[in-house]
Chain A
Amino acid sequence: MALQSLDIVRRSATTLPEPQARGAHTGQVAKLIDVTKCIGCKACQVACMEWNDLRDEVGTCTGHYDNPADLSDQSWTLMRFAEYENPDSGNLEWLIRKDGCMHCADPGCLKACPSPGAIVQYANGIVDFHEENCIGCGYCITGCPFNIPRISKKDSKAYKCTLCSDRVGVGLEPACVKTCPTGAIVFGTKDDMRQHAAERIDDLKSRGFDKAGLYDPAGVGGTHVMYVLHHADQPSLYSGLPKEPTISPAVRLWKGIAKPLGLFAMAATAAVGFLHYLRKGPSETDERDEEAARRELEKTS
Protein backbone atom coordinates (compact mmCIF):
# COMPACT_ATOMS: atom_id res chain seq x y z
CA MET A 1 0.00 0.00 0.00
CA ALA A 2 2.90 2.34 0.43
CA LEU A 3 3.20 3.62 -3.13
CA GLN A 4 -0.38 4.76 -3.21
CA SER A 5 -0.47 5.61 0.49
CA LEU A 6 -2.24 8.81 1.27
CA ASP A 7 -0.94 8.95 4.83
CA ILE A 8 -0.27 12.56 5.66
CA VAL A 9 3.32 13.24 6.67
CA ARG A 10 3.22 17.03 6.71
CA ARG A 11 0.43 19.50 7.25
CA SER A 12 0.44 23.27 6.77
CA ALA A 13 0.50 25.57 9.83
CA THR A 14 0.89 22.65 12.18
CA THR A 15 3.90 22.78 14.48
CA LEU A 16 3.73 19.21 15.71
CA PRO A 17 3.95 16.69 12.87
CA GLU A 18 1.56 13.77 12.87
CA PRO A 19 3.30 10.68 14.22
CA GLN A 20 3.51 8.04 11.51
CA ALA A 21 3.35 4.31 12.11
CA ARG A 22 3.36 3.56 8.39
CA GLY A 23 5.73 4.77 5.71
CA ALA A 24 6.45 4.53 2.00
CA HIS A 25 8.69 1.48 2.35
CA THR A 26 8.45 0.50 -1.31
CA GLY A 27 9.39 3.96 -2.53
CA GLN A 28 7.69 7.25 -3.35
CA VAL A 29 6.02 8.08 -6.63
CA ALA A 30 7.28 10.46 -9.32
CA LYS A 31 6.28 11.73 -12.73
CA LEU A 32 9.00 12.19 -15.31
CA ILE A 33 8.44 14.58 -18.20
CA ASP A 34 10.81 13.98 -21.07
CA VAL A 35 10.79 17.36 -22.78
CA THR A 36 12.80 15.91 -25.67
CA LYS A 37 9.95 13.55 -26.61
CA CYS A 38 7.09 16.03 -26.22
CA ILE A 39 5.33 17.11 -29.43
CA GLY A 40 3.14 19.73 -27.71
CA CYS A 41 -0.17 18.01 -28.58
CA LYS A 42 -1.76 19.10 -25.27
CA ALA A 43 -3.48 15.76 -24.70
CA CYS A 44 -2.21 16.03 -21.09
CA GLN A 45 -4.05 19.33 -20.68
CA VAL A 46 -7.26 17.79 -21.97
CA ALA A 47 -6.95 14.61 -19.91
CA CYS A 48 -6.32 16.77 -16.82
CA MET A 49 -9.46 18.82 -17.42
CA GLU A 50 -11.50 15.71 -18.11
CA TRP A 51 -10.37 13.76 -15.05
CA ASN A 52 -10.57 16.67 -12.64
CA ASP A 53 -13.86 18.02 -14.03
CA LEU A 54 -12.41 21.39 -14.97
CA ARG A 55 -13.41 23.52 -17.95
CA ASP A 56 -11.46 26.71 -18.55
CA GLU A 57 -13.00 29.56 -20.48
CA VAL A 58 -12.40 29.54 -24.20
CA GLY A 59 -9.68 32.14 -24.58
CA THR A 60 -8.35 34.24 -27.40
CA CYS A 61 -5.20 33.84 -29.43
CA THR A 62 -2.36 35.76 -27.84
CA GLY A 63 0.04 35.23 -30.72
CA HIS A 64 1.71 32.09 -29.43
CA TYR A 65 0.87 28.45 -28.98
CA ASP A 66 0.34 28.57 -25.21
CA ASN A 67 -3.36 27.92 -24.80
CA PRO A 68 -4.66 28.96 -22.32
CA ALA A 69 -2.16 31.77 -21.89
CA ASP A 70 -1.46 30.89 -18.25
CA LEU A 71 -2.28 28.39 -15.54
CA SER A 72 -5.57 29.00 -13.73
CA ASP A 73 -7.88 27.41 -11.19
CA GLN A 74 -9.32 25.49 -14.17
CA SER A 75 -6.05 24.74 -15.96
CA TRP A 76 -3.67 22.88 -13.67
CA THR A 77 -1.20 22.05 -16.40
CA LEU A 78 -0.09 23.94 -19.47
CA MET A 79 2.27 23.37 -22.39
CA ARG A 80 4.65 26.31 -22.60
CA PHE A 81 6.22 26.79 -26.01
CA ALA A 82 9.59 28.52 -26.34
CA GLU A 83 11.53 29.22 -29.52
CA TYR A 84 15.28 29.14 -29.07
CA GLU A 85 17.94 29.89 -31.64
CA ASN A 86 20.86 27.71 -30.67
CA PRO A 87 24.02 29.83 -31.22
CA ASP A 88 26.22 26.72 -31.49
CA SER A 89 24.29 24.83 -34.12
CA GLY A 90 22.38 27.74 -35.65
CA ASN A 91 19.22 25.67 -35.36
CA LEU A 92 15.86 26.96 -34.27
CA GLU A 93 14.73 24.74 -31.42
CA TRP A 94 11.17 24.49 -30.25
CA LEU A 95 11.34 23.79 -26.54
CA ILE A 96 7.99 22.66 -25.18
CA ARG A 97 7.61 22.23 -21.44
CA LYS A 98 4.59 20.88 -19.61
CA ASP A 99 4.22 23.30 -16.73
CA GLY A 100 2.45 22.42 -13.48
CA CYS A 101 3.06 21.57 -9.85
CA MET A 102 6.46 19.97 -9.24
CA HIS A 103 5.41 18.29 -5.96
CA CYS A 104 8.56 19.40 -4.12
CA ALA A 105 9.91 17.24 -1.31
CA ASP A 106 10.28 20.49 0.64
CA PRO A 107 7.19 22.42 -0.52
CA GLY A 108 7.34 26.20 -0.25
CA CYS A 109 3.55 26.43 -0.50
CA LEU A 110 3.09 24.17 2.53
CA LYS A 111 5.67 26.12 4.50
CA ALA A 112 4.05 29.45 3.70
CA CYS A 113 0.45 28.35 4.28
CA PRO A 114 -1.04 29.76 7.51
CA SER A 115 -4.20 27.62 7.49
CA PRO A 116 -3.94 24.28 9.29
CA GLY A 117 -4.43 21.33 6.95
CA ALA A 118 -5.05 23.35 3.78
CA ILE A 119 -1.85 21.94 2.24
CA VAL A 120 -0.70 18.42 3.03
CA GLN A 121 2.10 16.15 1.92
CA TYR A 122 1.43 12.43 1.64
CA ALA A 123 3.84 9.62 2.40
CA ASN A 124 4.05 8.85 -1.33
CA GLY A 125 5.40 12.37 -2.01
CA ILE A 126 2.31 14.09 -3.40
CA VAL A 127 1.61 17.64 -2.20
CA ASP A 128 -2.11 18.28 -2.19
CA PHE A 129 -4.37 21.26 -1.48
CA HIS A 130 -7.51 20.75 0.57
CA GLU A 131 -9.79 23.53 -0.43
CA GLU A 132 -12.18 23.11 2.52
CA ASN A 133 -9.37 24.33 4.79
CA CYS A 134 -8.09 27.01 2.39
CA ILE A 135 -8.67 30.61 3.44
CA GLY A 136 -7.65 32.06 0.07
CA CYS A 137 -4.83 34.23 1.41
CA GLY A 138 -2.49 33.42 -1.51
CA TYR A 139 0.59 32.81 0.65
CA CYS A 140 1.12 29.51 -1.23
CA ILE A 141 1.71 31.54 -4.40
CA THR A 142 4.38 33.58 -2.59
CA GLY A 143 5.91 30.42 -1.20
CA CYS A 144 5.99 28.52 -4.49
CA PRO A 145 9.35 28.80 -6.32
CA PHE A 146 7.67 27.71 -9.58
CA ASN A 147 4.67 30.11 -9.56
CA ILE A 148 2.05 27.36 -9.79
CA PRO A 149 -0.96 27.82 -7.43
CA ARG A 150 -3.83 30.00 -8.62
CA ILE A 151 -6.71 31.47 -6.63
CA SER A 152 -10.13 30.81 -8.07
CA LYS A 153 -12.32 33.84 -8.73
CA LYS A 154 -15.37 31.69 -8.06
CA ASP A 155 -14.64 30.42 -4.56
CA SER A 156 -11.43 32.35 -3.64
CA LYS A 157 -9.53 29.16 -2.90
CA ALA A 158 -6.18 28.00 -4.22
CA TYR A 159 -5.94 25.23 -6.82
CA LYS A 160 -3.14 23.33 -8.51
CA CYS A 161 -2.23 19.88 -9.88
CA THR A 162 -2.91 17.11 -7.36
CA LEU A 163 -0.79 14.57 -9.28
CA CYS A 164 -4.23 12.90 -9.51
CA SER A 165 -3.97 11.88 -5.85
CA ASP A 166 -7.40 10.22 -6.22
CA ARG A 167 -6.06 7.99 -9.03
CA VAL A 168 -2.70 7.32 -7.41
CA GLY A 169 -4.55 6.54 -4.17
CA VAL A 170 -6.17 3.52 -5.84
CA GLY A 171 -2.99 2.49 -7.64
CA LEU A 172 -3.48 4.21 -11.01
CA GLU A 173 -1.20 6.59 -12.88
CA PRO A 174 -2.16 10.29 -13.25
CA ALA A 175 -4.46 11.14 -16.16
CA CYS A 176 -1.83 13.16 -18.07
CA VAL A 177 0.63 10.26 -17.87
CA LYS A 178 -1.87 7.76 -19.17
CA THR A 179 -2.93 9.80 -22.17
CA CYS A 180 0.50 10.97 -23.42
CA PRO A 181 0.73 9.56 -26.98
CA THR A 182 4.51 9.87 -27.34
CA GLY A 183 5.34 8.49 -23.91
CA ALA A 184 6.99 11.77 -22.96
CA ILE A 185 5.30 11.60 -19.55
CA VAL A 186 5.98 8.50 -17.51
CA PHE A 187 5.12 7.57 -13.95
CA GLY A 188 6.48 5.17 -11.36
CA THR A 189 8.61 5.10 -8.26
CA LYS A 190 11.07 7.93 -7.96
CA ASP A 191 13.97 5.47 -8.27
CA ASP A 192 12.55 3.94 -11.43
CA MET A 193 11.98 7.36 -12.92
CA ARG A 194 15.58 8.36 -12.19
CA GLN A 195 16.75 5.20 -13.91
CA HIS A 196 14.48 5.80 -16.90
CA ALA A 197 15.81 9.37 -17.09
CA ALA A 198 19.41 8.13 -17.00
CA GLU A 199 18.74 5.87 -19.99
CA ARG A 200 17.11 8.72 -21.88
CA ILE A 201 20.02 11.04 -21.08
CA ASP A 202 22.55 8.47 -22.31
CA ASP A 203 20.59 8.20 -25.52
CA LEU A 204 20.41 11.98 -25.93
CA LYS A 205 24.14 12.36 -25.29
CA SER A 206 24.86 9.78 -27.95
CA ARG A 207 22.86 11.94 -30.36
CA GLY A 208 24.90 15.06 -29.69
CA PHE A 209 22.99 16.63 -26.82
CA ASP A 210 26.03 16.87 -24.55
CA LYS A 211 24.23 18.94 -21.94
CA ALA A 212 21.21 16.65 -21.59
CA GLY A 213 20.30 16.03 -17.98
CA LEU A 214 17.71 15.48 -15.29
CA TYR A 215 15.94 18.36 -13.56
CA ASP A 216 15.36 17.35 -9.95
CA PRO A 217 16.38 20.53 -8.12
CA ALA A 218 18.02 20.01 -4.73
CA GLY A 219 17.05 23.50 -3.51
CA VAL A 220 13.53 22.25 -2.80
CA GLY A 221 14.69 18.82 -1.64
CA GLY A 222 14.13 17.27 -5.06
CA THR A 223 10.76 17.07 -6.79
CA HIS A 224 8.21 14.38 -7.55
CA VAL A 225 7.75 15.82 -11.02
CA MET A 226 11.05 15.77 -12.88
CA TYR A 227 12.15 16.82 -16.36
CA VAL A 228 14.60 15.39 -18.86
CA LEU A 229 16.02 18.46 -20.62
CA HIS A 230 18.25 18.67 -23.70
CA HIS A 231 19.84 21.79 -22.20
CA ALA A 232 19.97 20.86 -18.53
CA ASP A 233 22.65 23.52 -18.02
CA GLN A 234 20.20 26.26 -19.03
CA PRO A 235 16.75 25.36 -17.65
CA SER A 236 15.62 28.97 -18.07
CA LEU A 237 15.43 28.35 -21.82
CA TYR A 238 12.30 26.30 -21.11
CA SER A 239 9.94 29.24 -20.51
CA GLY A 240 11.80 30.39 -17.42
CA LEU A 241 12.25 27.16 -15.50
CA PRO A 242 14.34 28.31 -12.48
CA LYS A 243 17.90 27.03 -12.43
CA GLU A 244 18.20 26.74 -8.67
CA PRO A 245 14.73 27.10 -7.19
CA THR A 246 14.55 27.78 -3.47
CA ILE A 247 11.84 28.82 -1.10
CA SER A 248 11.77 32.63 -0.85
CA PRO A 249 14.02 33.89 2.01
CA ALA A 250 11.09 35.97 3.28
CA VAL A 251 8.98 32.82 3.72
CA ARG A 252 11.85 30.95 5.35
CA LEU A 253 12.58 33.88 7.68
CA TRP A 254 8.93 34.30 8.60
CA LYS A 255 8.09 30.63 9.12
CA GLY A 256 11.54 29.50 10.22
CA ILE A 257 12.58 32.18 12.72
CA ALA A 258 10.07 34.97 13.10
CA LYS A 259 7.07 32.78 13.81
CA PRO A 260 8.65 30.64 16.56
CA LEU A 261 10.24 33.77 18.03
CA GLY A 262 6.91 35.55 18.00
CA LEU A 263 5.21 32.59 19.62
CA PHE A 264 7.94 32.50 22.25
CA ALA A 265 7.51 36.22 22.90
CA MET A 266 3.77 35.79 23.35
CA ALA A 267 4.21 32.81 25.66
CA ALA A 268 6.92 34.64 27.62
CA THR A 269 4.72 37.74 28.03
CA ALA A 270 1.89 35.63 29.37
CA ALA A 271 4.23 33.74 31.71
CA VAL A 272 5.88 36.93 33.01
CA GLY A 273 2.47 38.52 33.53
CA PHE A 274 1.31 35.53 35.50
CA LEU A 275 4.46 35.43 37.63
CA HIS A 276 4.17 39.14 38.26
CA TYR A 277 0.62 38.62 39.43
CA LEU A 278 1.69 35.80 41.74
CA ARG A 279 4.42 37.89 43.36
CA LYS A 280 2.83 41.35 43.43
CA GLY A 281 -0.84 40.55 43.31
CA PRO A 282 -3.42 42.95 41.87
CA SER A 283 -2.64 46.64 41.89
CA GLU A 284 -4.80 48.19 44.64
CA THR A 285 -5.72 51.86 45.01
CA ASP A 286 -6.48 53.49 48.35
CA GLU A 287 -8.57 56.54 49.20
CA ARG A 288 -5.58 58.91 48.83
CA ASP A 289 -4.95 57.82 45.23
CA GLU A 290 -8.61 58.27 44.35
CA GLU A 291 -8.61 61.74 45.92
CA ALA A 292 -5.49 62.70 43.97
CA ALA A 293 -7.07 61.44 40.76
CA ARG A 294 -10.23 63.45 41.37
CA ARG A 295 -8.23 66.62 41.95
CA GLU A 296 -6.25 65.99 38.81
CA LEU A 297 -9.47 65.59 36.85
CA GLU A 298 -10.95 68.81 38.21
CA LYS A 299 -7.78 70.71 37.38
CA THR A 300 -7.83 69.66 33.74
CA SER A 301 -11.56 70.19 33.16
Chain B
Amino acid sequence: MSEMTRRQFLKLSGATLAASSLALMGFSPGEALAEVRQFKLARATETRNTCPYCSVACGVLMYSLGDGAKNARQSIFHIEGDPDHPVNRGTLCPKGAALVDFIHSDSRLKYPEYRAPGSDKWQRISWDDALDRIAGLMKADRDANFTTKNADGLTVNRWLTTGMLAASASSNEVGYLTHKVARSLGLLAFDNQARV
Protein backbone atom coordinates (compact mmCIF):
# COMPACT_ATOMS: atom_id res chain seq x y z
CA MET B 1 0.00 0.00 0.00
CA SER B 2 2.98 2.27 0.49
CA GLU B 3 3.21 2.38 -3.32
CA MET B 4 -0.16 4.12 -3.56
CA THR B 5 0.02 7.81 -4.38
CA ARG B 6 -2.42 10.35 -3.11
CA ARG B 7 -4.03 10.51 -6.53
CA GLN B 8 -4.55 6.74 -6.76
CA PHE B 9 -6.08 6.71 -3.30
CA LEU B 10 -8.56 9.38 -4.31
CA LYS B 11 -9.45 7.57 -7.52
CA LEU B 12 -10.07 4.32 -5.68
CA SER B 13 -12.14 6.05 -3.01
CA GLY B 14 -14.20 7.77 -5.67
CA ALA B 15 -14.89 4.53 -7.52
CA THR B 16 -15.93 2.79 -4.29
CA LEU B 17 -18.21 5.64 -3.36
CA ALA B 18 -19.85 5.70 -6.79
CA ALA B 19 -20.40 1.93 -6.83
CA SER B 20 -21.85 1.76 -3.34
CA SER B 21 -24.08 4.79 -4.02
CA LEU B 22 -25.47 3.14 -7.15
CA ALA B 23 -26.17 -0.07 -5.25
CA LEU B 24 -27.83 1.83 -2.40
CA MET B 25 -30.02 3.80 -4.77
CA GLY B 26 -31.54 0.58 -6.03
CA PHE B 27 -29.48 0.16 -9.17
CA SER B 28 -28.01 -3.08 -7.89
CA PRO B 29 -27.85 -5.97 -10.35
CA GLY B 30 -31.24 -7.63 -10.76
CA GLU B 31 -31.77 -10.51 -8.37
CA ALA B 32 -34.21 -13.33 -8.89
CA LEU B 33 -37.45 -12.29 -7.22
CA ALA B 34 -37.90 -14.02 -3.93
CA GLU B 35 -40.26 -16.97 -3.94
CA VAL B 36 -42.30 -18.53 -1.15
CA ARG B 37 -41.68 -22.00 0.14
CA GLN B 38 -43.22 -24.51 -2.24
CA PHE B 39 -46.62 -25.88 -1.26
CA LYS B 40 -45.64 -29.24 0.17
CA LEU B 41 -48.84 -31.21 -0.44
CA ALA B 42 -49.24 -30.66 -4.17
CA ARG B 43 -49.17 -34.30 -5.33
CA ALA B 44 -48.91 -36.15 -2.02
CA THR B 45 -51.25 -39.09 -1.41
CA GLU B 46 -54.19 -37.99 0.74
CA THR B 47 -55.75 -40.61 3.01
CA ARG B 48 -58.72 -40.12 5.33
CA ASN B 49 -58.63 -41.51 8.84
CA THR B 50 -59.93 -40.93 12.34
CA CYS B 51 -57.82 -39.36 15.08
CA PRO B 52 -56.80 -42.10 17.56
CA TYR B 53 -56.91 -40.01 20.72
CA CYS B 54 -60.22 -39.21 22.37
CA SER B 55 -63.74 -40.38 21.68
CA VAL B 56 -64.67 -37.22 19.80
CA ALA B 57 -63.13 -39.06 16.81
CA CYS B 58 -62.16 -36.14 14.60
CA GLY B 59 -61.53 -36.82 10.93
CA VAL B 60 -57.96 -36.34 9.76
CA LEU B 61 -56.27 -36.17 6.38
CA MET B 62 -52.90 -37.89 6.19
CA TYR B 63 -50.45 -36.89 3.47
CA SER B 64 -47.77 -39.34 2.46
CA LEU B 65 -44.79 -39.46 0.15
CA GLY B 66 -45.34 -40.70 -3.37
CA ASP B 67 -48.44 -41.18 -5.48
CA GLY B 68 -48.92 -44.85 -4.63
CA ALA B 69 -46.60 -46.14 -7.33
CA LYS B 70 -45.21 -49.60 -6.75
CA ASN B 71 -41.66 -48.44 -6.20
CA ALA B 72 -42.42 -45.56 -3.86
CA ARG B 73 -42.47 -46.35 -0.16
CA GLN B 74 -45.21 -44.31 1.50
CA SER B 75 -44.45 -42.36 4.65
CA ILE B 76 -46.75 -39.87 6.30
CA PHE B 77 -45.24 -36.40 6.52
CA HIS B 78 -48.22 -34.19 7.27
CA ILE B 79 -51.59 -34.48 8.97
CA GLU B 80 -54.36 -31.94 9.23
CA GLY B 81 -58.08 -31.91 9.94
CA ASP B 82 -60.60 -33.24 7.42
CA PRO B 83 -62.86 -30.35 6.39
CA ASP B 84 -65.50 -32.80 5.09
CA HIS B 85 -65.77 -34.64 8.41
CA PRO B 86 -68.96 -33.62 10.24
CA VAL B 87 -67.40 -33.92 13.70
CA ASN B 88 -64.54 -31.45 13.40
CA ARG B 89 -64.93 -29.83 9.96
CA GLY B 90 -61.18 -29.44 9.56
CA THR B 91 -60.26 -28.42 13.10
CA LEU B 92 -57.98 -30.37 15.42
CA CYS B 93 -56.94 -29.93 19.05
CA PRO B 94 -53.22 -29.63 19.94
CA LYS B 95 -52.88 -33.39 20.33
CA GLY B 96 -54.54 -34.12 17.02
CA ALA B 97 -52.58 -31.38 15.31
CA ALA B 98 -49.35 -33.07 16.47
CA LEU B 99 -50.29 -36.55 15.19
CA VAL B 100 -47.44 -36.73 12.71
CA ASP B 101 -44.93 -36.77 15.57
CA PHE B 102 -46.95 -39.49 17.30
CA ILE B 103 -46.58 -41.64 14.16
CA HIS B 104 -42.84 -41.12 13.93
CA SER B 105 -42.19 -41.25 17.68
CA ASP B 106 -39.38 -43.56 18.79
CA SER B 107 -41.48 -44.74 21.70
CA ARG B 108 -44.55 -45.56 19.61
CA LEU B 109 -46.01 -48.99 20.40
CA LYS B 110 -45.93 -50.99 17.14
CA TYR B 111 -46.51 -54.60 18.30
CA PRO B 112 -47.79 -56.48 21.35
CA GLU B 113 -45.44 -56.54 24.30
CA TYR B 114 -45.61 -58.56 27.47
CA ARG B 115 -44.24 -57.88 30.92
CA ALA B 116 -44.21 -60.90 33.15
CA PRO B 117 -45.32 -60.48 36.80
CA GLY B 118 -42.39 -59.19 38.86
CA SER B 119 -40.32 -58.37 35.80
CA ASP B 120 -39.20 -54.88 34.86
CA LYS B 121 -38.71 -55.77 31.18
CA TRP B 122 -41.09 -55.75 28.27
CA GLN B 123 -40.71 -58.54 25.76
CA ARG B 124 -42.07 -58.64 22.25
CA ILE B 125 -44.66 -61.34 21.56
CA SER B 126 -46.63 -62.25 18.46
CA TRP B 127 -50.22 -61.16 17.89
CA ASP B 128 -51.32 -64.81 18.15
CA ASP B 129 -49.61 -65.23 21.51
CA ALA B 130 -51.10 -61.98 22.76
CA LEU B 131 -54.65 -62.83 21.67
CA ASP B 132 -54.39 -66.39 23.02
CA ARG B 133 -53.15 -65.13 26.35
CA ILE B 134 -55.84 -62.46 26.64
CA ALA B 135 -58.58 -64.92 25.64
CA GLY B 136 -57.28 -67.56 28.08
CA LEU B 137 -57.11 -65.12 31.00
CA MET B 138 -60.55 -63.71 30.17
CA LYS B 139 -62.08 -67.16 30.06
CA ALA B 140 -60.45 -68.21 33.34
CA ASP B 141 -61.63 -65.05 35.07
CA ARG B 142 -65.13 -65.27 33.60
CA ASP B 143 -65.49 -68.94 34.55
CA ALA B 144 -64.46 -68.10 38.11
CA ASN B 145 -66.47 -64.92 38.62
CA PHE B 146 -69.47 -64.88 36.28
CA THR B 147 -72.70 -64.22 38.21
CA THR B 148 -75.94 -65.57 36.82
CA LYS B 149 -78.25 -64.52 39.65
CA ASN B 150 -78.08 -61.83 42.30
CA ALA B 151 -78.88 -62.19 46.01
CA ASP B 152 -82.59 -61.88 45.33
CA GLY B 153 -82.50 -64.67 42.77
CA LEU B 154 -82.97 -62.32 39.87
CA THR B 155 -81.14 -63.31 36.65
CA VAL B 156 -78.33 -60.80 36.01
CA ASN B 157 -75.71 -62.66 33.91
CA ARG B 158 -72.90 -60.23 34.72
CA TRP B 159 -69.15 -60.36 34.89
CA LEU B 160 -67.84 -57.66 37.22
CA THR B 161 -64.18 -58.59 37.68
CA THR B 162 -63.01 -57.52 34.23
CA GLY B 163 -63.45 -54.24 32.40
CA MET B 164 -62.88 -53.17 28.84
CA LEU B 165 -61.56 -49.95 27.39
CA ALA B 166 -61.87 -49.88 23.60
CA ALA B 167 -60.25 -47.62 21.04
CA SER B 168 -61.67 -44.35 19.89
CA ALA B 169 -60.78 -44.39 16.21
CA SER B 170 -63.84 -46.45 15.41
CA SER B 171 -66.74 -46.06 13.06
CA ASN B 172 -70.36 -46.50 14.16
CA GLU B 173 -70.30 -50.09 12.96
CA VAL B 174 -67.15 -50.96 14.87
CA GLY B 175 -68.59 -49.29 17.95
CA TYR B 176 -71.80 -51.33 17.60
CA LEU B 177 -69.92 -54.61 17.21
CA THR B 178 -67.58 -53.85 20.13
CA HIS B 179 -70.60 -53.11 22.25
CA LYS B 180 -72.31 -56.36 21.25
CA VAL B 181 -69.23 -58.47 21.98
CA ALA B 182 -68.55 -56.87 25.36
CA ARG B 183 -72.18 -56.97 26.53
CA SER B 184 -72.68 -60.55 25.35
CA LEU B 185 -69.82 -61.57 27.63
CA GLY B 186 -71.62 -59.90 30.52
CA LEU B 187 -69.11 -57.04 30.90
CA LEU B 188 -70.48 -54.00 32.71
CA ALA B 189 -67.30 -51.97 33.22
CA PHE B 190 -66.98 -50.96 29.62
CA ASP B 191 -66.12 -47.74 27.85
CA ASN B 192 -65.74 -47.16 24.16
CA GLN B 193 -66.70 -44.83 21.43
CA ALA B 194 -70.28 -46.04 21.34
CA ARG B 195 -70.82 -44.15 24.60
CA VAL B 196 -70.33 -40.85 22.77
Q: List residues of A whose CB falls within 8 A of some B CB.
A: 6, 8, 11, 14-16, 41-43, 45-47, 49-51, 116-117, 120, 128, 130, 132-133, 162, 165-167, 169-170, 175, 178-181, 183, 259, 263, 266-267, 269-270, 273, 282
Q: Is the CB of A47 within 8 A of B92?
A: yes
Which residue of chain B has its CB nearest to the CB of A178? B90
A262 nearest in chain B by CB position: B24
Query: Interface residues of B, CB < 8 Å — how many?
Result: 36
Per CB-CB distance, the 10 closest pairs between chain A and chain B, nearest first, are: A15-B26, A130-B34, A46-B97, A43-B94, A47-B97, A266-B21, A46-B94, A165-B36, A166-B37, A181-B91
Residue contact B80 to A178, C-beta cutoff 8 Å? yes
B100 part of interface (Cβ distance < 8 Å): yes
A48 CB, min distance to chain B CBs, angstroms: 9
Q: Which residue from chain A places its CB closest to the CB of B88 in the assembled complex?
A: A181
The distance in angstroms between the C-alpha atoms of A170 and B31, with both chains bound, is 24
> Which of B20, B24, B39, B94 is A169 in contact with, Cβ under 8 Å?
B39
Contact (Cβ within 8 A) A117 B18: no
B contact residues around A179 at 8 Å (CB): 80-81, 90-92, 96-97
Closest B residue by C-beta to A167: B39
Q: How far is the CA of A183 from the CA of B92 in the complex (A)?
A: 11
B28 at the interface (CB under 8 A from A): yes
In the assembled complex, which residues on chain A have CB atoms less than 8 Å from the CB atom of B31? 116-117, 133
Determine the distance from Cα of A175 to Cα of B80 in the docked complex, in whole angstroms: 8
Docked complex Cα distance between A15 and B92 (Å): 44
List of A residues within 8 angstroms of B96 by Cβ? 43, 179
Q: Which residues of A contact B42 (CB under 8 A)?
A: 170
Chain A residues with Cβ below 8 Å from B71 are none
Q: In the complex, what's the smallest C-beta–C-beta distance from B136 to chain A, in angstroms?
A: 42
Return the chain A residue nearest B15 by Cβ: A270
Given contacts A50-B98, A179-B81, A263-B21, 18 further A-B contacts (CB under 8 A): A6-B36, A14-B26, A15-B25, A43-B97, A50-B97, A116-B26, A117-B31, A133-B31, A166-B36, A167-B39, A178-B83, A178-B90, A259-B24, A266-B24, A267-B21, A269-B17, A270-B17, A273-B14
